[in-house]
């Protein structure tokens, strides 16, 4: 396999200056084995670089952007899982980068590509083509995640979600059908959160337990039932701290299908997800990421 790196630059990322980033990349030792792509269309990314990546042209794909760019690059790497993921975080939240202690300074993040180590992490797959590292939400969780203003998140961080929850806590319950490891369940809830087991949620909540690679591969599937603001705060606290009880119905499994007879919001790691079908599968230690030594 060649040592060539492909840098996928999102020019729309909040802290991105594409020209400056390309200049920094060209200053890297061994830059003759680098290619840069300023990506404005994810479909073009897949069609242009997918075949070459599948054939082993790239040892590393580097996502230069936010969490959305990371997900697009994971989708590209899925063509050949031997390929490593590098991250130069220039987005708004940079959740995976923060959880893996990847520097938020672009120059330092680029240096990590040269001096870091490779770490295998678990991810989850949706409908065989999308991937998330933290969570997938339907209903209440998605309403809050998608309606919280970016400016508020930039000012007060994770507390912005608690503030936004005041506007959505009285939403009604919905009927759900769950198929967890081929076992069917019917339930009602205000929403469902599917958490990538050993997820990297400590980027949102620093006191959350770190991922434990020794634990078995599974998804944490949480059906939410809060009725008041304080019940919601309690539910949120328990999810972030890895405790699933109270106003939560908790299940575990390696795969889950979610069906709801009504059209309700859904998100994938905080971004809108518009597909009706939801089939999620956990992939244990599937992705190789370059992290600081």
Query: Mind listing the pLDDT tens digit for each residue in 209-259?
Result: 665 666 666 898 999 888 777 777 777 767 766 667 678 888 989 999 999
H or E element that contains 151: helix 150-156
What is the phi/psi pair of residue 202, to 5°? Answer: -65, -10
For 180-191, what is the mean pLDDT? 93
Please answer whether residues 64 and 16 qualify as being in contact, where contact means their C-beta atoms are separated by less than 8 angstroms.
yes
DSSP tag of 33 = G
| Average pLDDT of the residues of the chain | 84
H or E element that contains 281: strand 279-291
The pLDDT > 90 percentage for the chain reads 36
Sign of CA dihedral 117, 5, 76, 268: positive
For 187-215, what is the mean pLDDT? 72
156 pLDDT band (50/70/90 cuts)? confident
pLDDT at residue 87 greater than cutoff 90: yes
Pick from 94-103, 120-129, 194-203, 281-290: least confident:
194-203
Q: How deeply is 101 buried, as exposed, middle or buried, from its count of CB atoms within 10 A (0-12, 13-18, 19+)? A: exposed
Of the two residues 263 and 30, the one the predictor is more confident about is: 263
286 pLDDT band (50/70/90 cuts)? very high
Q: Is 180 helix (H, G, I), strand (E, B) or coil?
A: strand
What pLDDT does residue 199 have?
A: 66
Return all residues near 263 (Cβ < 8 A) that are at least 6 apart. Answer: none
For 256-263, what is the mean pLDDT? 92
The pLDDT > 70 percentage for the chain reads 87
What pLDDT does residue 1 have?
A: 41
What pLDDT does residue 2 have?
A: 47
Of 13-17, 47-51, 141-145, 189-193, which one has max mean pLDDT? 189-193
Nearest to 15 by CA among 97, 117, 138, 100: 97
Pick from 127-136, 167-176, 182-191: least confident:
167-176
CA distances from 122 to 109, 196, 211, 217, 258 (A): 21, 8, 9, 8, 21
Structure tokens at 189: 């809830």
């Amino acid at each position: 396999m060649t040592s060539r790196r492909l840098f996928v630059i999102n020019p729309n990322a909040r802290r991105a200056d594409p020209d400056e980033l390309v200049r920094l990349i060209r200053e890297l030792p061994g830059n003759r084995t680098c290619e840069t792509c300023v990506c404005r269309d994810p479909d073009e990314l897949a069609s242009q670089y997918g075949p070459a990546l599948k054939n082993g042209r790239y040892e590393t794909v580097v996502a230069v952007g936010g969490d959305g760019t990371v997900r697009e690059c994971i989708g590209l790497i899925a063509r050949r899982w031997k390929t490593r993921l590098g991250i130069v975080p220039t987005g708004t939240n940079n959740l995976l980068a923060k959880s893996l202690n990847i520097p938020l300074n672009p120059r330092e993040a680029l240096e990590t590509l040269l001096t870091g180590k490779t770490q295998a992490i678990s991810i989850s797959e949706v409908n065989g083509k999308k991937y998330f590292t933290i969570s997938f939400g339907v209903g209440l969780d998605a309403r809050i995640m998608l309606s919280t203003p970016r400016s508020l998140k930039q000012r007060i961080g994770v507390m912005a979600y608690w503030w936004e929850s005041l506007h959505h806590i009285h939403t009604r319950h919905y009927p759900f059908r769950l198929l967890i490891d081929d076992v069917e369940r019917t339930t009602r809830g205000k929403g469902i959160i599917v958490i990538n087991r050993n997820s990297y949620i400590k980027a949102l909540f620093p006191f959350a337990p770190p991922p434990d690679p020794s634990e078995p591969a599974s998804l944490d599937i949480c059906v939410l039932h809060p009725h008041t603001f304080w019940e919601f705060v309690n539910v949120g606290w328990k999810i972030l701290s890895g405790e699933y009880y109270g106003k939560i119905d908790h299940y575990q499994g390696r795969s889950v299908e979610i069906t709801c007879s009504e059209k309700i919001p859904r998100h994938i790691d905080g971004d809108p997800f518009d597909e009706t079908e939801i089939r999620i599968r956990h992939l244990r230690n599937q992705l190789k990421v370059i992290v600081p030594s």
